[in-house]
Amino acid sequence: MKLSYTVADATGSITLLVTTPVEPALRTQVGARLLPLEKKACQVAFLDQTDGTSRLAAAGGQFDANAAMILAALLAFEEHLAVGESQDLQLSVSGADGPVTCTVTPVWRCDMVTLTMSLPEKITDVAFPLSGGSVKLPVVSFPGADHIIVPAGMVDRTAAPELLTHWSALLPAPAAGMLFWDEEAAFFDPLLYVKAAAVARWVSSSADGAAAIAAWLTMQRRADQALSLKQPGGTIAAVTRWRDGLTSLTVSGTVDLKKDKSADIIF
């Protein structure tokens, strides 16, 4: 199978966006074979245009905000937007509970993209097994993904992928994140697990993770938040509104469409 794909950098996290049509049943396998071809790549997503519209699908069917930002930048590129010209878009993205609203603005050598995120379905404390006992940690549940917020240093980094694999079985969504949060530094290190692929992977940045932390902090502080959340790959801005509850949540980051490539995938 010959595939065309775009290598894109979303705030330091490399995603491979496959533009050749791939049947949904094959996407997990294709993603597993394509990912090793790009050493710095963190994830694979698929562009589905079979019905004349552009729909984004992550390999495991989960919601992926980084990949959604990349789709927005790709559509803006196809519209030949001028530098500084903004466009509002409605995106169809796997795992989302409806169209995803975003604004994309080309700037020098990249695009600035702001996504309006779905609000969390719930934010709860969940007991997870750890070191022969259990620990309660906050879990932010979005449509398509559950994110566990873990204090930095609580879990050894080498043990984290296996631990997240086990913990994800206690959560219903098709994907889970473990976000190692250092509040003093406003920094988190994201580890993501997709159940369909059965792989836990460290990523350089996670817009979904930034949204989860912003939502949780808003609930904790019961006030609007404007946050710059640092990660290994860069910084994502998150803005929330609180009106007797969380009423809106946006995340913003950069996208650099680096190059178009092709590859032969053999099953």
Question: Per residue in 31-90, pLDDT tens?
Answer: 889 988 888 898 899 998 877 778 898 877 788 899 999 999 998 888 888 899 999 999
Q: Are the CB atoms for 36 and 8 separated by under 8 Å? A: no
Q: Is the dihedral of CA 86, 88, 94, 97 positive or negative?
A: positive
- For the cut 80, the answer to whether the pLDDT of residue 141 exceeds it is yes
Residues facing 145 on adjacent strands: 142
Model confidence at 25, pLDDT cuts 50, 70, 90, reads confident
Which residues contact residue 159 at a Cβ distance below 8 angstroms, ignoring those fewer than 6 apart? none
Q: What is the pTM of this model?
A: 0.93
Same fold, 2-116+254-264 and 122-252: yes
Model confidence at 125, pLDDT cuts 50, 70, 90, reads very high
- The separation between CA 36 and the C-alpha centre of its own chain, rounded to angstroms, equals 19
The predicted-structure confidence for 56-73, as pLDDT tens digits, reads as follows: 988 777 888 999 999 999
pLDDT recorded at residue 76: 87
Domain 2-116+254-264, CATH = 3.10.310.10
Q: To 10 degrees, the CA torsion angle through 139, 165, 232, 181?
A: 30
Which string of b and e fits 94-130 if b means at least 16 CB within 10 Å?
Answer: bbbeeebebbbbbeeebbbbbbebbbbeebeebebee
Check: CATH 3.40.50.300 for 122-252?
no
Q: Select from 16, 44, 46, 17 the least CA-distant residue to 31.
A: 44
Tokens 């595939």 correspond to 3
pLDDT recorded at residue 111: 94
Q: Residue ranges of the domains in the chain?
A: 2-116+254-264, 122-252
pLDDT recorded at residue 64: 87
